[in-house]
Amino acid sequence: MPEREEEKTGIWRQRIQDAIKLATNGEWQKAIEANEVILKVFPTDVDAYNRLGRAFMEMGELDKAREAYRRTLEMDPHNAIAEKNLSRLSVLRESQVPVKEERRAVPPDI
């Protein structure tokens, strides 16, 4: 049975790496899909919710981004990433800043 757990962990790690790579390459829709798959198997993965929130922000789906970050905070009330991004989203809502439709890759060192 431990071999099965190791296999499951390996698959999980690979899916995480795939989701990160998609985001790094600016493939935001695919990054959304990859993180949603992770969350179906690991519904309490706060990092996946944070990645999902970022991808939704990049796609201009701000309500979905807010929901992803709120889910993070439900599980981890002091998650700095979710807090920071919810704050950014509230500023966007208040200022009504238009979301750019431009898509670009994110440098890996960020």
For residue 105, CA distances in Å to 77, 86, 100 come to 30, 22, 14
In this predicted model, what pLDDT tens digit does every residue of 26-54 receive, in sequence order? 999 999 999 999 999 889 999 999 999 99
Chain centroid offset of residue 60 CA: 13
pTM for the model: 0.78
In this predicted model, what pLDDT tens digit does every residue of 61-93 receive, in sequence order? 999 999 999 999 999 999 999 999 999 998 876
